[in-house]
Amino acid sequence: MTAQLLLALYSGSLFAMVFLVAPLLLRVKENKNLAGRFYGRILWRFYKVAFFLLLLYLILNDEKLHALLLMLGLSLNVGASYWLKNYKRVLGDIDLVPYEDPRRVLFRRVSLLSTFLLFMNFLLSLYLLQKELKGGGLAGL
Span 64-96, pLDDT tens digits: 999 999 999 999 999 999 999 999 999 988 889
pLDDT of residue 136: 54
Look at the alpha carbons of 91, 72, 51, 28 in this order and tell me if their dihedral is positive or negative: positive
Q: By percentage, how much of the chain surpasses pLDDT 90?
A: 60
Q: How far is residue 118's CA from residue 17's CA, in Å, rounded to a whole number?
A: 8
Domain membership of residue 141 (yes or no) is no
Domain membership of residue 113 (yes or no) is yes
Task: Quick: pLDDT tens for 7-59.
Answer: 999 999 999 998 998 888 877 778 888 888 888 899 999 999 999 999 999 99
Structural domain boundaries enclosing 65: 2-135
Q: How far is residue 48's CA from residue 44's CA, in Å, rounded to a whole number?
A: 7
Domain membership of residue 120 (yes or no) is yes
pLDDT of residue 5: 93
Provide the domain count of the chain.
1
pLDDT of residue 139: 47
pTM: 0.84
Domain membership of residue 101 (yes or no) is yes
Residue among 94, 78, 110 nearest 37 (CA): 94
